[in-house]
Amino acid sequence: MENEHLPSVVIVIPHCNGKEILLRCLESLQNDGYDGKRVLLVDNASTDDSVIESRKAYPWLEVLSLPQNLGFSGGVNAGIRHAEADIIVLLNNDTVVSPGWLQPLVDALESNDHVAAVQPKLRSWFDKELFDYAGGAGGEIDRWGYPFCWGRIFTTREPDNGQYSQARSIFWASGSASAWRRSAIMDAGLLDEDFFAHMEEIDLCWRLHMMGYDVRYQPGPEVYHCSGGTLSEEKLRKKFLNHRNSWIILIKNYRWGNVLKTVPLRLLLDLITIPYALVFWGDIKRVLAIVGSWFSVLFGLPRWLRSRKIVQQLRTVPDEIVLRRIYARSVAWQYFFRKIKFAKELPW
């Protein structure tokens, strides 16, 4: 293939502070074996010297400096708009890539115009034999907005024993490491910046499914992720954003009939979670996050409904088709009451 026919690739890394994790990520990119890529660091108003030191160490690094912290979604969107490329690769600043990781993702996008996003295998940096919390071997979601991964359900992560070594369609690709067809995500409206952080890639993938695109998992050389390197899982804000944003996803993307069918049981599941979190986990932050998400969704409802109107205008595929890609049972019920901990054991 002649060089002029190769797709242009830009890796977009949103960043806000953290010199050591960023330098480690950039070192792995320098040695990843993929020539011709550009690397764009989107600096969300860092206050440390991480950007200065990274530029010194890696002169090939491009930097887009933002005047304020726009969050993951705002930073990524700024990077996508800035990067004129066929393929956008989203990569967290707390990841480490393996040599050869990128080529299979680019090939998967190039081989099928209906594929909008591709995720590699994500494993934990801290426990390298385990799948990573933020993406595992590709993401799924149930009817009530609870996401999970092949390799991780809630807090249970599987060891990677080669059980997810086949390429497959998935519902969502992790924003921690994934390659995206830029034309598709521009048409879909980019990430929803009202999310600020967490689950915005799931929302984007739902829109892509509504537009007739496929999302894929492509096994190959792993990407290692320091989950929580930027925002710890234990922090109240992270739990709040996860709960709130999962509600917004349902309101925005389902047809009204399915919204009305889904909301009552989702509310019941949240109500069950509250005493469970207090009695068995002693997790008051979880309770505060759940209750806070309800009020945030209610007070922000006019905004979410305006966003919903825009999203529904993108639809070319009915809910009946999209629902075939969504787990029809409650993953929370399967996990907490039937004690099914691994995705491969779930009844589909």
Instruction: Say if residue 30 is in the same domain as residue 132.
Output: yes
pLDDT at 78: 98
Among residues 174, 205, 225, which one ends one of the domains?
225
* CATH number assigned to the domain comprising residue 221: 3.90.550.10
Does residue 336 lie within any of the structural domains?
no
Measuring CA to CA, how many Å separate 65 from each of 24, 79, 82, 251, 317?
Answer: 20, 10, 11, 33, 38
Instruction: Say if residue 152 is in the same domain as residue 262.
Output: no
pTM: 0.94
Q: Please choose, from the candidates 238, 139, 22, the residue with its C-alpha nearest in 3D space to the C-alpha of residue 131.
A: 139
Does residue 54 lie within any of the structural domains?
yes
Structure tokens at 287: 């309770």
Instruction: Say if residue 127 is in the same domain as residue 201.
Output: yes
Measuring CA to CA, how many Å separate 4 from each of 8, 92, 102, 107?
Answer: 9, 29, 19, 16
- 2: confidence class by pLDDT, cuts 50, 70, 90: very low
Residue 229 has pLDDT above 60, yes or no: no
Does residue 27 lie within any of the structural domains?
yes
Does residue 324 lie within any of the structural domains?
no
Residue 1 has pLDDT above 50, yes or no: no
The number of folded domains in the chain is 2
d(CA 215, CA 218): 10
Does residue 325 lie within any of the structural domains?
no
pLDDT at 228: 58
Structure tokens at 106: 């680019």
Instruction: Say if residue 63 is in the same domain as residue 207.
Output: yes
Min mean pLDDT across 121-135, 146-160, 231-245 is at 231-245
pLDDT tens per residue across span 177-208: 999 999 999 999 999 999 988 999 999 999 99
Does residue 333 lie within any of the structural domains?
no
- 234: confidence class by pLDDT, cuts 50, 70, 90: low
Please state the rounded mean pLDDT for residues 318-345. Answer: 97
Please state the rounded mean pLDDT for residues 320-326. Answer: 98
Please state the rounded mean pLDDT for residues 235-240. Answer: 91
Could you list the residue range(s) of the whole structural domain that residue 278 is in?
Answer: 236-318
Contacts with 314 (C-beta within 8 Å, 6 or more apart), sequence order: 187, 188, 189, 207, 210, 211
Does residue 45 lie within any of the structural domains?
yes
pLDDT tens per residue across span 76-118: 999 999 999 999 999 999 999 999 999 999 999 999 999 999 9
Instruction: Say if residue 27 is in the same domain as residue 161.
Output: yes
Residue 230 has pLDDT above 70, yes or no: no
Instruction: Say if residue 196 is in the same domain as residue 297.
Output: no
Instruction: Say if residue 47 is in the same domain as residue 169.
Output: yes
Instruction: Say if residue 24 is in the same domain as residue 161.
Output: yes
Residue 43 has pLDDT above 70, yes or no: yes
Among residues 225, 248, 283, which one ends one of the domains?
225
Instruction: Say if residue 31 is in the same domain as residue 168.
Output: yes
Please state the rounded mean pLDDT for residues 144-164. Answer: 97
Does residue 145 lie within any of the structural domains?
yes
Instruction: Say if residue 159 is in the same domain as residue 297.
Output: no
Instruction: Say if residue 274 is in the same domain as residue 127.
Output: no
Q: What is the mean pLDDT of the chain?
A: 95
For residue 39, the number of C-alpha atoms closer than 13 Å in the C-beta half-sphere is 23
Instruction: Say if residue 214 is in the same domain as residue 242.
Output: no
Residue 278 has pLDDT above 60, yes or no: yes
CB 276 within 8 A of CB 229: no
d(CA 24, CA 37): 18
